[in-house]
Amino acid sequence: MQNEHIYIRKAKNGDMAAFEFLVTAHEKKIYNMAYRYTGNVQDAEDITQEVFLRVFRSLSGFKEESSFSTWIYRITSNVCIDYSRKKPGKTGNLISIDSTDEEGHEIQIRGEAFSPEEEYDKREIREAIADAILKLPDNHRQAIILRDINGLSYDEIAKILDISEGTVKSRIARARGQLCKILTGKGNFFEGVSS
């Protein structure tokens, strides 16, 4: 965002209007990350509020070495992890699906396997995808949301999650593979809609 640094500096000096400008500029993407992470509107609102509270409290310490966007996403990632710790299993039932993480360790995927019916419109497809995202492990879920919903580059995601770009690529590839497996698991869901 052009001139964002000016608003950041003003907000650091206690200018509430400047801070509100920053909130307006970033609340939608933060909310969406939280919403797709939790699958729950109220939890997403709570997480978004918590993120901006943390931003408000620690803005004076923000050195502007990274972009404001990267910084606020990193805070969101941390708040989401805290949420998962406080509410384990909130996003689905644990079932075991064969899969391994980027280090080759076996992991579990949350939730029930997708069970499609006959034909789906786009809205239903998106709902199915959103449900499937909730069944991914936390770290895969964050990566896929940042990449495929929020549209960030691999490089930005690496900075936000503090992992290597290679790990980001691996996580996203596996997350997409898992989503495909979940969505096609029982009924060739996509084959029905793409034919």
What is the binding site for another protein (CB under 8 A)?
A: 5-6, 9-10, 12-16, 19-20, 23-24, 27-29, 31-32, 35-36, 41, 44-45, 48-49, 52-53, 56-57, 59-60, 64, 122, 125-126, 129-130, 133, 144, 148-151, 154, 169, 172-174, 176-177, 179-180, 183-184, 190-191, 193-194
Q: How far apart are CA 114 and CA 183, in angstroms?
A: 5
Q: How far is the CB of 96 from another protein (least distance, A)?
A: 19
Cβ-based nearer residue to another protein, 94 or 145? 145
Cβ-based nearer residue to another protein, 40 or 94? 40
Q: How far is the CB of 26 from another protein (least distance, A)?
A: 10
Q: How far is the CB of 102 from another protein (least distance, A)?
A: 10
Range list of H helices, 87-153: 122-134, 138-144
- By the 10 Å C-beta count (0-12 exposed, 13-18 middle, 19+ buried), 155 is classed as exposed
Cβ-based nearer residue to another protein, 27 or 138? 27
Half-sphere exposure of 173 (CA within 13 A, CB side): 9
Q: How far is the CB of 164 from another protein (least distance, A)?
A: 15
Q: How far is the CB of 117 from another protein (least distance, A)?
A: 17
Residues 6+ apart with CB under 8 A from 172: 140, 143, 144, 147, 148, 154, 157
Cβ-based nearer residue to another protein, 88 or 182? 182
Cβ-based nearer residue to another protein, 88 or 102? 102
Q: Could you tell me if 72 and 30 are in contact, meaning their C-beta atoms sit under 8 angstroms apart?
A: yes
Angle at 50 between CA 13 and CA 171, to 5 degrees: 110
Report the amino acid identity of residue 143.
A
CA distances 18 to 8, 11, 14, 41, 86, Å, are 7, 5, 8, 27, 33
